[in-house]
Amino acid sequence: MDVQPEMVAAIMALFGIGLMGIIETLKRILKLEGVGAKVLAFVVSLGGTAIILVQADAWSVLAFIVYGLIVFGEATGLYTVFTKKTA
């Protein structure tokens, strides 16, 4: 399975406001920090991944797992694979 950077970008730009924006907004509303914030980021990342994969007609369990983990890492800043950070 080849990971397509375009698919990662589409998931990160979920609903035009960005997955990270959704996560940050929910963290503030729910007043989450630490592990709770990571769990929220994981759930939202997987949800966003599922939505985009279904819309793109690219759904498979393997794609869901791979893209879900990449998006979770990108959204939490644990690692950067495709998005570029600006200084």
Model pLDDT for residues 22-40, shown as the tens digit of each residue: 888 888 999 998 899 899 9
Instruction: Indicate the domain borders of the chain.
Output: 5-76
* Confidence check: pLDDT of 15 > 60: no
pLDDT at 30: 93
First to last CA, the chain: 32
Orientation angle between helical segments 5-12 and 35-55, nearest 10 degrees: 120
| CB-count exposure of residue 75 (10 Å: 0-12, 13-18, 19+) | buried
Judge whether 19 and 75 are in contact, CB under 8 Å: yes
Could you give phi then psi for residue 40, rounded to 5 degrees?
-60, -45
Percent of the chain with pLDDT over 90: 14
Nearest to 44 by CA among 29, 57, 62: 29
What's the whole-model pTM score? Answer: 0.71
